[in-house]
Amino acid sequence: MRQNNTNLNTNPKSNLIRNYLLVSRDKGFSSILALALGTLIIGGAFLAIARASQGRNQVAAQQQTDRALAAAEAGVARIQDLLLREPRLAKLELSRWREVANATDSLQKLTEFTGIDSSGSTSSCSASSGAQVSSQDIKNQLTQIAGIITGTSTEPTGWVQLDNNTSYKVIGYDGNGNLKVQGRLNNNNATSQIAVKFAVTENTSTSTSASTAVPVVWLGSHTGNDVGNNDLHGQVRVTVPTANTPVTAVTLGVGKNGTISGGIETTTQCMPSTPPLPSSYYTLSAVAANTVFPRSGDTPDANGYYHYLVPSLTFNGNGQLKISAGKKVVFYLQGNLDIGGNFDIIAENGARLEIYGNTNGRYGCPSGSSGNCNTTEIKTSGNASIKGNVFIHAPEARAGINGGGNSNPNFQGAIWVKNWGFSNSNVGQLTAYGTFNDYLGSKRAVASTRIAIRPVSGWQREAVSQNNQ
């Protein structure tokens, strides 16, 4: 038995086979190990590269997101600036902004929606002249700053471009200081959305007593005036950009034979806008000389006013236009008032005539006319006169008396316009009549409502809805 074992171990052929198998096994294991290690090294390298690439992508994505966020914040700042310039917008939700932009008279639409006249905000006056910002200015600001899309588009707002290849979009405003704005990069899909909160407050004060006599003249601009030799028997009120803006008889162009007997009052209050057309009124294609108003068969409103939309009041030669005793008549003027010759407008005993000039196309244009149909001139000349309780309110017009008239005074009532002129060297006399409570237009100057826009008090980032991109 021992001999057999010895023979087995010393058999050269057996040893050769055995050694070959052992060496082959070791070499195979080493190859597998080397392959595994190589795979691990390569995999680690790929993983390191992938992680580095991912890190770079994350940094780039974060930078893009930050730029989109900055665009949204820029949008918020621009909208707040818009609201500071026209605070009444802060009282209206976003859908109303679009209605304002679509309106023929955006300023009047703001008044209609908020119940606050433009005189209630210093933003409605030009810094240089006190003239009201135009309806077109409001439209431009809404479309260019707020991105309002006018017309019938299903989208209320669009993207507003900034100068760094980014843009912003207003996606929500509730009329109570809650604003949502998105920002994005124009060349990729990076979009951010923020929601901010700021307080919107109102303060209503009485700037003029209703029982105060109306100024004989209210000028919406402190520059460009020439009173000349007109005698203004009453107070002249002038809107100025700042409380310390000087206004004197010299700066108003009062001539050596002219007078302002009631003194000059300056105010930073804007001249109120003219009243809108009422729900019911009569439309006249022309006003003929020697017509008596109200006409036979015309009916007044609940407050006793007879309302007429007229293209112009232009008369020359002999004739009269009368307002019957005790009646209240209102003319909404699409064009100008220009009377000369020996023509007289007479409001008989106890009657009241109010004439409101067209601004921003508020009263439309006469048939066959187009373009700017605003009232730009209110003047009398020759021996023409306006007698009785008459109130003329035309915020964009230039007014004056260029003639002596047949009576003393040759104008009774008040004229509220942007500038005074047309007086040259002629003599004209004008006397105030009535109080702030007497006329539809002057009542709008009695109370002023100020809207204040406070700084942002709340800020948060929100998820971006695909529907709003």
Question: HEC states along the chain?
Answer: CHHHHHHHHCCHHHHHHHHHHHHHHHHHHHHHHHHHHHHHHHHHHHHHHHHHHHHHHHHHHHHHHHHHHHHHHHHHHHHHHHHHHCHHHHHCEHHHHHHHHHCCCHHHHHHHHHCCCHHHCHHHECCCCCCECCHHHHHHHHHHCCCECCCCCCCCECCEECCCCEEEEEEEEECCCEEEEEEEECCCCCEEEEEEEEEEEEEEEECCCCCCECCCEEECCCCCCCCECEEEECCEEEECCCCCCCCCCCCCCECCCCEECCCEEEECCCCCCCCCCCCCCEECCCCCCCCEECCCCCCCCCCCEEEEEECCEEECCEEEEEECCCCEEEEEECCCEEECCEEEEEECCCCEEEEEECCCCCCCCCCCCCCCCCCCEEEEECCCEEEEEEEEEEEEEEEEEECCCCCCCCEEEEEEEEEECCCCCCCEEEECCCECCCCHHHHCCCEEEEEEEEEEEEEEEECCCHHHC
pLDDT band at 156 (very low <50, low <70, confident <90, very high): confident
Note the pLDDT of residue 447.
66
Note the pLDDT of residue 248.
94
Note the pLDDT of residue 121.
40
Range ranked top by mean pLDDT from 51-55, 238-242, 354-358: 354-358
Note the pLDDT of residue 304.
96
pLDDT above 60: residue 402: yes
- Average pLDDT over every residue of 203-223: 81
Q: What percent of the chain has pLDDT over 70?
A: 78
265 vs 189, residue with greater confidence: 265
pLDDT above 60: residue 380: yes
Note the pLDDT of residue 6.
46
466 vs 441, residue with greater confidence: 441
Note the pLDDT of residue 75.
94
Across 43-52, 154-163, 207-216, 289-298, least confident range = 43-52
Across 30-44, 241-255, 334-348, least confident range = 30-44
pLDDT band at 196 (very low <50, low <70, confident <90, very high): very high
Across 115-129, 131-145, 325-339, least confident range = 115-129
- Average pLDDT over every residue of 133-154: 87
pLDDT tens sequence across 19-32: 554 555 555 556 66
184 vs 37, residue with greater confidence: 184
pLDDT tens sequence across 293-333: 999 999 999 999 999 999 999 999 899 999 999 999 999 99
pTM comes to 0.67
pLDDT above 90: residue 391: yes
pLDDT band at 424 (very low <50, low <70, confident <90, very high): low
Q: What percent of the chain has pLDDT over 90?
A: 43
pLDDT band at 230 (very low <50, low <70, confident <90, very high): confident
pLDDT above 70: residue 268: yes
Note the pLDDT of residue 412.
82
Note the pLDDT of residue 63.
82
Range ranked top by mean pLDDT from 35-49, 115-129, 167-181: 167-181
- Average pLDDT over every residue of 55-70: 75
322 vs 203, residue with greater confidence: 322
Note the pLDDT of residue 16.
53
Across 90-99, 112-121, 209-218, 444-453, least confident range = 112-121
Note the pLDDT of residue 376.
93
Note the pLDDT of residue 213.
84
pLDDT above 80: residue 466: no
121 vs 38, residue with greater confidence: 38
413 vs 285, residue with greater confidence: 285
- Average pLDDT over every residue of 228-232: 87
Note the pLDDT of residue 302.
95
pLDDT tens sequence across 429-464: 788 778 888 888 888 777 667 788 888 888 999 988
